[in-house]
Amino acid sequence: MTKTALVTGASRGIGRAVAQRLARDGALVAVHYATEADAADEVVKGIEADGGQAFALRSQFGAPGYVDDLFDALESGLKARTGTAELHILVNNAGIKSVQEPEDVTAEQLDELFEVNSKAPFLIIQRALGLLPDGARIINISSGITRFGNPQEIGYAMSKGAVEQLSLHFAKHLGPRGITINSVVPGVTDNGTEPVFRNPEIRAHLSEMAALKRVGETTDIADIVGFLAGADARWITGALINASGGALLD
């Protein structure tokens, strides 16, 4: 039986690497995107070129009816390819970031951060419960910003802290069904889109923050997600997995 997976925010960065990893592991992957259709199509074509299975679907988180849009496309895509809408792996990766002084954060900006980063994952899990079979896997992508103080990212950190609570409380709720749910907490990770990582001096400085003395790559995170999505992680749930290379250890 082919396993199925939904990865949100999979057109680039960590989500892209996760989609590619799950496809290599044999899953049919739904590659979600918000605005970058060409990038999502590129991910799908790359997966197919490697012998995997994938399809793209669009939903703009925060827009009216975005959860319905996501699941209408997901269920129709899965049924067309497998005959059923059963979903075995859900990866909540999509998110937005905000960097500014705390005094400048507006209520509207906080609403957007929590809508996309916190509320959407909750609603997606809630809606997916009817599609997830016993023994399914849910992985939420948090952020290392929840582990140290950076005032300029306070809103982002608050929204990611809420994501971690999803894993804790849903783990107890879904445990009787054998469904595991965990949070992966990346540290400084080169997602391929931020120019700062192309600066050798800055990259060297960021590398010194980690015990393993390098900047994280998207595949580092994807491999951890792949493990959590597999059978070997059956006894891990409600956990926070530090995926920072040992950053900022005391």
What's the pLDDT score for residue 250? 58
Going from the C-alpha of 189 to that of each of 12, 144, 240, the distances in angstroms are 13, 10, 17
pLDDT band of 192, cuts 50, 70, 90: confident
CA within 13 Å, CB half, 85: 12
163 belongs to a structural domain: yes
For the chain, what is the domain count?
1
Looking at residues 224-237, what average pLDDT do you find?
Answer: 98
| Closest CA relative to residue 5, chosen from 139, 160, 186 | 139
Is 246 within 8 Å of 220 (Cβ atoms)?
Answer: no
Q: Domain for residue 62, yes or no?
A: yes
* Separation between Cα atoms, residue 145 and residue 35, nearest integer Å: 25
pLDDT grade, residue 1 (50/70/90)?
Answer: confident
Residue at 249 is within a domain? no
**Is 250 part of a structural domain of the chain?**
no
Residues 199, 191: Cα–Cα separation, whole Å: 14
Instruction: Answer yes or no: is 116 within a domain.
Output: yes
Q: How far apart are CA 87 and CA 27, in angstroms?
A: 10
pLDDT tens digit string along 131-168?
Answer: 999 999 999 999 988 887 788 889 989 999 999 999 99
Instruction: Give the model confidence (pLDDT) of 11-57 as tens digits.
Output: 999 999 999 999 999 999 999 999 999 999 999 999 999 999 999 99
Decide if 209 is inside a domain. Answer: yes
* Residues spanned by the domain of 200: 4-243
CATH code for position 210: 3.40.50.720
Does residue 248 form part of some domain?
Answer: no
Q: Give this prediction's pTM.
A: 0.95
Which tens digit of pLDDT belongs to each residue from 74-105?
999 999 999 999 999 999 999 998 888 999 99
For 24-34, the pLDDT digits (tens) are: 999 999 999 99
Catalytic residue numbers read: 156
Q: Is residue 55 situated within a structural domain?
A: yes
188 Cβ contact list (under 8 Å, min separation 6): 144, 206, 209, 210, 215, 216, 244, 247
